[in-house]
Chain A
Amino acid sequence: NAGVTQTPKFQVLKTGQSMTLQCAQDMNHEYMSWYRQDPGMGLRLIHYSVGAGITDQGEVPNGYNVSRSTTEDFPLRLLSAAPSQTSVYFCASKKQYEQYFGPGTRLTVT
């Protein structure tokens, strides 16, 4: 089992560019989520999904879109990147109480 995988590991974008952060899990978990981690602020929930075809907003959803067409995949789209979106992004899948995190994507927006 690979667990939760994320690509790319690093990305640099210019302001206004768009991109998709990929996330996949092979544990057949229904619940998946995206977080961003900024210094001194812990992990903040961007969007989450409780199953294929079902998504909802978290704490900081503005500027991000998600979709969930399969149980395995949960991509995060940045529509028009802004410097405030410079952060480390983590995808996670969850079984009952326990979340399993991917290795993260470090995104810099210049």
Chain B
Amino acid sequence: TQLLEQSPQFLSIQEGENLTVYCNSSSVFSSLQWYRQEPGEGPVLLVTVVTGGEVKKLKRLTFQFGDARKDSSLHITAAQTGDTGLYLCAGGVGGFKTIFGAGTRLFVKA
């Protein structure tokens, strides 16, 4: 069974702080996505990484795919209250299926 483990499960920080969320597996993935989900809504795609070592930036968010394509990280610089939400990583398997991590719930306090 392929698993994606996310850490931490919960994070509460002050506005302006930096944070990193990790997504780890013993399996190799063809691609990895990061989603953000707000209460009562479906996940919304933030980014897709497909190449080992790839780094993508989305404003204050930096995403990295591990060299071996088994892990990924999401770094947020100077967090804002609008960053509050559930962050999910997801790995592509066999071209069709996607495996999701359990998520990191982020709360940014003003």
Which A residues have a C-beta under 8 Å from some C-beta of B? 4, 31, 33, 35, 40-45, 48, 50, 58, 90, 92, 94, 97-104
| Chain A residue with Cβ nearest B92 | A97
| Chain A residue with Cβ nearest B98 | A99
Interface size on B, residues (CB 8 A): 23
Which B residues have a C-beta under 8 Å from some C-beta of A? 4, 9, 31, 33, 40-45, 48, 50, 88, 90, 92, 96-103
On whether the beta carbons of B40 and A104 are closer than 8 Å, the reply is yes
Q: How far is the CB of A108 from chain B (nearest CB, A)?
A: 15
Interface of A is mostly: strand
Q: A98-B48, A101-B43, A102-B42 are in contact. Are A43 and B96 (CB under 8 A)?
A: no
Q: How far is the CB of A85 from chain B (nearest CB, A)?
A: 19
Apart from A58-B97, A104-B40, 8 more pairs, CB < 8 Å: A31-B96, A48-B97, A90-B43, A97-B31, A97-B33, A99-B33, A100-B45, A101-B42
Most buried by A among B44, B100, B101: B100
Q: A97-B33, A98-B33 are in contact. Are A42 and B102 (CB under 8 A)?
A: yes
- Determine the chain B residues whose CB is within 8 A of the CB of A92 once the complex forms: 42
- Determine the chain B residues whose CB is within 8 A of the CB of A50 once the complex forms: 96
Q: How far is the CB of B74 from chain A (nearest CB, A)?
A: 15
Would you mind naming 7 contact pairs between A and B with Cβ atoms under 8 Å apart?
A42-B100, A90-B42, A90-B43, A97-B92, A98-B48, A101-B43, A104-B42
Q: What is the bound-complex CA distance between A23 and B45, given in angstroms? A: 19
Q: What is the bound-complex CA distance between A92 and B41, given in angstroms? A: 12
